[in-house]
Homo-oligomer: A and B are copies of this chain.
Amino acid sequence: MTDNSTTMTIGEVAARTGLSVHTLRFYEREGILADPVRRDAGGRRVYTENDIEWLNLCVILRTSGMPVPEIRRYTELARQGDGTEGERLALLREHHARVTAQIGDLHRCLDLITYKIGIYEDFFDEAEREHAGALTP
């Protein structure tokens, strides 16, 4: 049960999202926070569970390579609310395709790397066999 009314300081949010406080402020400047962060009497940022959730989504999007401007676009759409679902869906689908493609690329790279590793391993196996004076017919 995530209590929707408990609030956090920027430091706590940093701890919970894995982002640095610098990055949190940076993201806010870049306009990728769901709603403008509230402030307490002293002017410091006050975050809610909602913000954490949104930030976690942002982290996922960034980790999977979505550029900041595109996250901003998504955020703007979400802020606008009703009527933007189509564009949001399109944006996510596009990203989905890119990530899928990238995974494919990485797999192809991995195959070659695995192959190269195999060559080196063979090299050492061979050396060992010779060292042991094995009986290769």
Contact = CB atoms under 8 A, between A and B. Distances in A.
Interface string A48-90: 0000000001001101100000000000000000000110110
A113 B85 contact: no
Interface stretch (A1-9, A32-40, A93-101): A93-101
Contacts of A86: 124
A123 interface: yes
Given A89-B120, A123-B85, A124-B85, A103 B114 contact: no
Interface string A116-131: 1100110110000000
A121 B60 contact: no
A12 interface: no
A106 B103 contact: yes
A105 interface: yes
Nearest to A110: B99
Given A85-B120, A85-B123, A92-B120, A110 B114 contact: no
B121 A95 contact: no
Interface of A: 57, 60-61, 63-64, 85-86, 88-89, 92-93, 95-96, 99-100, 102-103, 105-107, 109-110, 112-114, 116-117, 120-121, 123-124
20 contacts: A57-B116, A60-B112, A60-B113, A61-B109, A61-B113, A63-B106, A63-B109, A64-B105, A64-B106, A86-B124, A89-B117, A89-B121, A92-B116, A93-B117, A96-B113, A99-B106, A99-B109, A100-B110, A102-B106, A103-B103
